[in-house]
Amino acid sequence: MDRIIDAAVAVLDEDGADALSMRNLAQRLDSGTATLYRHFTGRADLVAQVVDRVLAEAHVDDDALAGMTWQHACETLAHSLFDVFRRHPHVAPLLIEQIPTGPNAMAQREQTIALLLKSGFKPALAAQACATLARYVLGFATQLSPPDARSGGDEVWQTLDPQTFPATASVADHLPVPLQQEFAFGLELLIEGLNQVAHHDDKRVPGRRARRS
């Protein structure tokens, strides 16, 4: 079984999410699709197991997080997951197809929720915070592309007409912001916002906007 999943991950990495099919995997293994159906009920089952195998690479041991604040621990977990998506840029579209519920995905979800509950988050907020963090990482991951697919374009910022785009032209030397830098910046803001809601704004209810006075 490990050999089959390894081959499926290789198909995904080399040829993309659309190429991950029972037929292509069978060809790679020099086997028949009937053989694969002994192990998987269909493509959705295959995708679920491939995703969970890749997510295993994001594991961070609890002992490594033990001495951290919950904010630092959440940053560490998010960066670990994002690094996995950087190594496997075709995985993100598969997580849009289905919510990961394999053993590794569930263990990581459990780890994050337990961390938040222990730090004082109420159950509803812990659940929402965990989902928000996961979707934040996934959102950035969908913008990743394989190294050979990346193209230039930085010069566009240096040739902007300052009369038409005065504000953008004034910050052109700082554009484009590298994706990794954007990710780290936004993650820090997100976690600070969660800290504010969890520990400094007792009246706020998750998912409900505060009324304007």
Q: Across residues 207-213, what is the average pLDDT? A: 52
pLDDT of residue 13: 94
My answer on whether omega of the bond before 176 falls inside 30° of 0, hence cis, is: yes
Domain ranges (residues) in the chain: 60-147+174-200
Q: What is the pLDDT of residues 48-84, one digit of tens each?
A: 999 999 999 999 999 999 999 999 999 999 999 999 9
Query: Nearest CA to 198 among 67, 111, 71, 66?
Result: 71
Task: Compare 212 and 64 and report the one with higher pLDDT.
Answer: 64
Residue 38 token pair: 């002994």
Query: Where residue 213 falls among pLDDT bands split at 50, 70, 90?
Result: very low
pLDDT digits (tens, 9 = 90+) for 140-170: 999 886 555 555 567 888 899 999 999 999 9
**Helix, strand, coil percentages in the chain from 3-state DSSP, rounded to 5:** 70, 0, 30
Instruction: Tell me: pLDDT of 36 over 50.
Output: yes
* DSSP run (H or E) holding 49: helix 43-55
CA 126/CA 116 separation, integer angstroms: 6
Of all residues in the chain, the percent with pLDDT exceeding 70 is: 90
Architecture of domain 60-147+174-200: Orthogonal Bundle (1.10)
Query: In degrees rounded to 5, what are phi and psi of residue 20?
Result: -80, 90
pLDDT reported for residue 88: 95
Whether 3 and 33 have beta carbons less than 8 Å apart is answered as no
Tokens of 90: 């075709």
